[in-house]
């Protein structure tokens, strides 16, 4: 029994060792990837459900890895958060997303076509990035450099972010709003936070997490919750985007409930920039 115990221990230790090594290697690869500009943004359309028109895009990071190809955030975001690399990554995302929006705006405003869609961009922020002293200066630099209209920028912060609980960092949220940038709550309905931030903070919109819509066809309780959230948001003057719409039936149900904004595979997967641009410039 003794020797058996030892071997379990050794196996366990060996696994830990390999895991730690793999993480260290990935961390180095992320660092190098940032340096080599291997990260890119994909863009997923946000749709007006009342007229099927494109409102704009959510930017979603991808890693164009030299060996692995296009890698999704699932494989690197956690480690980036643990190592603090999420800060330089996030600041890059903010810059890149705004630059892309500025390019699209310039193209549309300078073209003779009668484009109606001046797109918005919705950018994901991590809590660490928000708390970085570089965040506001970076934001101001981008606004100055691009002169992009800040009203077309939405910043998404997940509901579970400590920033919604802490008084000491509320000035960052106020600073965002002072710049006429929209503040949106991401993954609404999944956090353990109270709803108090809805009246305390200058929130423009909620992104209702995809878990609500997935089984809306069969789950009466979830359907009722969506209805109640839509009604509460409407009363508070807060907009709602329902995420993760995958089927016609789901679309039909949320349209009937009066939901105005949707996003999901039914409309489009996240797209590389050229494809998103094509869709944008061929819309209406
Ligand atoms: P999120 O912000 O909640 O983004 C929505 C995720 O759902 C995206 O996954 C998107 O591709 C996926 N999705 C969209 N429509 C559907 C659908 O109809 N069905 C299903 N099953 N999934 C759908 P993605 O791109 O893999 O991103 C995962 C998460 O990684 C994001 O969740 C966000 O938390 C994080 N993330 C992505 N880009 C960034 C970024 O630039 N900065 C930061 N800090 N986090 C990011
Ligand atoms: Ca998001
Ligand atoms: Ca500009
Ligand atoms: Ca979300």
Q: What is the mean pLDDT of the chain?
A: 92
Q: Ligand 1 pocket test: pick from 41, 58, 60, 215 the residue with the most ligand atoms within 8 Å of its Cβ.
A: 60
Mean pLDDT score, 43-51: 98
Q: Write out the two tokens for 86.
A: 């999420």
Q: What is the pLDDT confidence band of residue 198, given thresholds at 50, 70 and 90?
A: confident
Report how far apart, in Å, the C-alpha atoms of 40 and of each of 89, 101, 259 are: 10, 14, 31
Q: Determine whether the shortest distance from the Cβ of 155 to ligand 1 is under 6 A.
A: no
**Rounded mean pLDDT of 212-241?**
94
List of residues 6+ apart from 9 with CB closer than 8 A: none
CA gap 83, 29 in Å, rounded = 12
User: Ligand 1 centre from 80 Cα, in Å?
Assistant: 15
DSSP H helices, 48-183, are: 77-83, 86-110, 127-131, 135-146, 170-178
Q: Which residues contact 220 (CB under 8 A, 6 or more apart)?
A: none
Q: Is 161 in the pocket of ligand 1 (CB under 6 A)?
A: no
Residue whose Cα lies nearest atom 15 of ligand 1: it is 264
Mean per-residue pLDDT, 204-215: 95
Mutate to test the pocket of ligand 1, among 47, 73, 189, 212 (most ligand atoms within 8 A of CB): 73
- Say if residues 123 and 154 touch (Cβ distance below 8 Å): yes
Ligand 1: which residue has its CA nearest to atom 19?
244
Separation of CA 235 and ligand 2 centre (Å): 24
Q: 92-96, 138-142, 169-173, 175-179: which range is least confident on average?
A: 169-173
% of the chain beyond a pLDDT of 90: 80
Q: Within 53-85, where are the H helices?
A: 77-83
Ligand 1 pocket residue status of 187, Cβ below 6 Å: yes
State whether residue 175 is helix, strand or coil: helix
**Rounded mean pLDDT, 194-215:** 90
Whether pLDDT at 2 is above 50: no
| Burial class for 84, CB neighbours closer than 10 Å (0-12, 13-18, 19+) | exposed
Q: How many CB atoms neighbour CB 246 within 10 A? A: 14
For the CA of 245, the nearest ligand = 1
Q: What band does 52 get if pLDDT is binned at 50, 70 and 90?
A: very high
Residue with tokens 């960092």: 169
1 pLDDT higher than 50:
no
Q: Is the pLDDT of residue 58 over 90?
A: yes
Cα separation, 272 vs 232, in Å, equals 35
Query: Residue 91's closest CA among 134, 59, 51, 62?
Result: 134
Ligand 1 within 6 A of 126 CB?
yes
Strands 120-125 and 39-48 come out as unpaired
Judged against a pLDDT cut of 50, whether residue 67 lies above it is answered with yes
Q: By 3-state DSSP, what share of the chain in percent is helix, strand and coil, each rounded to 5?
A: 50, 20, 30
Report whether residue 271 contacts ligand 1, using a CB cutoff of 6 Å. Answer: no
Is 5 a residue whose pLDDT tops 60?
Answer: no
| Burial state string for 102-137 with b = 16 or more CB within 10 A and e = fewer than 16 | bebbeebeeeeeebebbbbbbbbbbbbbbbbeebee
Does the structure show a pLDDT above 90 at 111? no
Beta strand 261-262 with 69-71 is: unpaired
Amino acid 6: pLDDT: 55
From atom 27 of ligand 1, which residue's Cα is the shortest distance away? Answer: 73
Expressed in angstroms and rounded, the spacing between residue 243 Cα and the centre of ligand 1 is 10
Ligand 2 centroid, distance to 123 Cα (angstroms):
7
pLDDT at 13 over 70: no
* pLDDT beyond 80 at 20: yes
Q: Cα of 264 to ligand 4 centre, how many Å?
A: 11
Ligand 1 near 159 CB (within 6 A): no
- The two tokens of residue 145 are 């450099």
């Amino acid at each position: 029994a003794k020797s058996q115990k030892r071997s379990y221990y050794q196996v366990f230790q060996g696994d830990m060792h390999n895991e730690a090594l793999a993480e260290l290697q990935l961390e180095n690869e992320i660092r190098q990837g940032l340096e080599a500009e291997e990260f890119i943004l994909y863009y997923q359309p946000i749709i007006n459900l009342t007229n099927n028109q494109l409102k704009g895009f959510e930017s979603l990071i991808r890693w164009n890895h030299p060996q692995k190809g296009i890698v999704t955030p699932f494989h690197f975001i956690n480690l980036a958060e643990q190592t603090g690399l999420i800060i330089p990554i996030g600041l890059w995302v903010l810059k890149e997303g705004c630059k892309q929006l500025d390019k699209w705006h310039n193209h549309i405003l300078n073209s003779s076509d009668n484009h109606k869609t001046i797109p918005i961009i919705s950018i994901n922020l991590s809590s660490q990035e928000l708390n970085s002293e570089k965040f506001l200066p970076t934001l101001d630099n981008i606004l100055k450099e691009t002169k992009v209209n800040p009203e077309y920028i939405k910043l998404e912060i997940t509901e579970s972010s400590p920033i919604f609980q802490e008084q000491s960092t509320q000035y960052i949220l106020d600073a965002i709003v002072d710049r006429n940038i929209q503040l949106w709550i991401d993954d609404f309905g999944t956090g353990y936070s109270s709803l108090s931030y809805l009246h305390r903070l200058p929130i423009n919109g909620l992104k209702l997490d995809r878990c609500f819509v997935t089984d809306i066809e069969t789950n009466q309780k979830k359907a009722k919750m969506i209805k109640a959230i839509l009604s509460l948001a409407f009363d508070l003057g807060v907009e709602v985007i329902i995420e993760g719409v995958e089927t016609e039936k789901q679309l039909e149900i949320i349209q009937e409930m009066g939901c105005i904004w949707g996003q999901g595979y039914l409309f489009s997967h996240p797209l590389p920039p050229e494809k998103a641009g094509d869709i944008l410039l061929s819309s209406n």
